[in-house]
């Protein structure tokens, strides 16, 4: 698609929606875009009113590690195959950028170099976060990206190891777990799910270790006490944040703490509601919406997504349907369509530190685009409604 001009398109640029516009693509980059007809017509492609927007930026996923076994049932030599299958599903659903996690798995032994090999060979844009994971079993289960395929002790998390995680993390994901996670296990298997394990001092130490590497610290956090400690300790990216209050939201705004919302689950606490998301936007926060793929719907999810997703794990395709349901709730509460789309593109790209290259339609940015029957998650809820996904200027998914 080098040198192509897309015309007669309904465009969401990241800032606004225009009903009739054009986009010029040269060598994988957006060269120009605007409203009305293009000032030149060579090699133009008439989209006949199709909706075009930036590719989705999902900044909290587990597709290559936990998702490879959980969703694809692949292990051992087949783990990479499971990871590639999940990445394909992401592209098919219009997701062109991922914030992927490597936290260590008790069975899968793939190491950092192997993950880098997958990332380098994939057309999707992937940033990797390394860290340690604490699962709320009894006794607690400690995992680390430094020791894949095994279970460790909390005492094994040394300053050197945290420094290694900070050095190799490419975005502020959930590098530490302030609370024990339920992961994707049934409630009876994780009696310690949600248990507060790190206090202010422990979080502060981790913040400083990452800061010494010129990195921001992100963390898995739930519950009022843990959220308060994370903010006070200087944490910069709050993942999940279920159980947050308005006072804490206002404190996050003052201290410029970002929020990655997983609206269907991810912790033991009931997930964030549409009312809370609308309030966060009103206060001035700019949160990202993320899938945490693969993850089951929390039994107390505010709208239970829909009956056909009940009991299923949320992957990239299900994430589209989930966001559609959430969008209808937010629209009823006065949230603008453009703001919902920004929570899926502009804001996660900024949180990941890649806003200069992707997340919006602007001259000089990557031509990572979705062409569809409507705008992603606010007007369409099925990957089959996506006509084409363009990555670096070329089609990677084509349903025309």
pLDDT of residue 42: 67
* Calpha distance 10→5 (Å, rounded): 14
The strand pairing partners of 54, in sequence order, are: 369
- Domains detected in the chain: 5-54+359-398 (2.30.40.10), 56-352 (3.20.20.140)
pLDDT digits (tens, 9 = 90+) for 205-259: 999 999 999 999 999 999 999 999 999 999 999 999 999 999 999 999 999 999 9
How far apart CA 341 and CA 281 sit, in angstroms, is: 13
Give me the residues paired with residue 144 across strands: 132
The reported pLDDT for the residue numbered 2 is 47
Give me the pLDDT at residue 159, please. Answer: 82
The predicted pLDDT at position 186 comes to 86
- pLDDT number for residue 193: 95
DSSP alpha helices (H): ranges in 157-292?
A: 159-168, 200-211, 224-232, 246-255, 274-283
Residue 105 has a pLDDT of 93
The pLDDT profile of the chain, 400 residues, written as one tens digit per residue, is 446 899 999 999 999 999 999 999 999 999 999 999 888 766 789 999 999 999 999 999 999 999 999 999 999 999 999 999 999 999 999 999 999 999 999 999 999 999 999 999 999 999 999 999 999 999 999 999 999 999 988 777 788 888 999 999 999 999 999 999 999 888 899 999 999 999 999 999 999 999 999 999 999 999 999 999 999 999 999 999 999 999 999 999 999 999 999 999 999 999 999 999 999 999 999 999 999 999 888 888 865 555 566 667 889 999 999 999 999 999 999 999 999 999 999 999 999 999 999 999 999 999 999 999 999 999 999 999 999 999 999 999 999 9
Instruction: Write phi, then psi, for 84 (nearest 5 degrees).
Output: -65, -35
DSSP tag of 181: B
Per-residue buried b or exposed e for 137-147, using 16+ beta carbons within 10 Å of the residue's own CB = beebbbbbbbb
Contact 180, 190 (CB under 8 A): yes
CB-based contact 204:248 (threshold 8 Å): no
What is the reported pTM?
Answer: 0.95
Q: Which residues contact 15 (CB under 8 A, 6 or more apart)?
A: 338, 360
Residue whose entry in the numeric block shows the structure tokens 């899968």: 108
Instruction: Find the radius of gyration of the CA atoms of the chain.
Output: 20
Answer whether the bond into residue 139 is a cis peptide, omega within 30°.
Answer: yes
Strand partners, 21: 9, 35
Hey, is 299 helix, strand or coil?
Answer: coil
Asked if 20 and 34 touch (Cβ cutoff 8 Å), the reply is: no
In the 8-state DSSP scheme, what is residue 271?
Answer: P
Closest CA to 386 of 129, 32, 117, 92: 92
The whole-number pLDDT of residue 305 equals: 54
Res 376: pLDDT: 98
């Amino acid at each position: 698609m080098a040198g192509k001009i897309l015309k007669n398109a309904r465009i969401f640029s990241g800032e606004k929606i225009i009903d009739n516009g054009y986009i010029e693509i040269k060598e994988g980059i957006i060269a120009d875009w605007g409203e009305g007809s293009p000032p030149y017509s060579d090699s133009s492609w008439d989209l006949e009113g199709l909706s075009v927007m930036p590719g989705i930026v999902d900044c909290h996923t587990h597709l290559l590690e936990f998702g490879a076994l959980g969703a694809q049932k692949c292990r051992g030599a087949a783990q990479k195959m499971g990871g590639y299958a999940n990445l394909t599903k992401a592209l098919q659903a219009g997701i062109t950028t991922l914030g992927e996690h490597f936290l260590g798995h008790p069975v899968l032994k793939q190491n950092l170099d192997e993950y880098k090999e997958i990332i380098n060979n994939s057309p999707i844009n992937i940033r990797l976060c390394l860290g340690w994971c604490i699962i709320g079993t009894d006794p607690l289960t400690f995992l680390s990206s430094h020791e894949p395929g095994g279970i460790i002790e909390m005492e094994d998390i040394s300053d050197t190891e945290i420094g290694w995680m900070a050095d190799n993390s490419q975005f502020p994901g959930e590098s530490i777990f302030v609370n024990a996670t339920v992961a994707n296990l049934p409630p009876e298997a994780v009696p310690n799910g949600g248990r507060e394990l790190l206090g202010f001092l422990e979080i502060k130490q981790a913040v400083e270790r990452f800061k010494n590497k010129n990195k921001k610290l992100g963390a898995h956090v739930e519950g009022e006490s843990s959220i308060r400690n994370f903010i006070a300790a200087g944490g910069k990216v709050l993942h999940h944040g279920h159980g947050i209050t308005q006072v804490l939201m206002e404190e996050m705004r003052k201290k410029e703490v970002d929020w990655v919302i997983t609206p269907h689950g991810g912790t033991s606490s009931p997930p964030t509601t549409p009312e809370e998301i609308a309030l966060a936007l009103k206060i001035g926060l700019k949160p990202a919406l993320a899938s945490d793929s693969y993850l089951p719907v929390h039994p107390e999810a505010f709208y239970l997504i829909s009956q056909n997703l009940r009991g299923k794990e949320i992957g990239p395709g299900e994430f589209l349907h989930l966001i559609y349901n959430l969008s209808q709730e937010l629209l009823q509460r006065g949230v603008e369509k453009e703001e919902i789309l920004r929570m899926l593109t502009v804001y996660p790209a900024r949180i990941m530190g890649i806003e200069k290259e992707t997340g919006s339609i602007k001259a000089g940015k990557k031509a990572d685009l979705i062409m569809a029957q409507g705008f992603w998650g606010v007007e369409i809820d099925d990957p089959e409604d996506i006509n084409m996904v363009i990555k670096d200027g070329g089609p990677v998914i084509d349903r025309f």
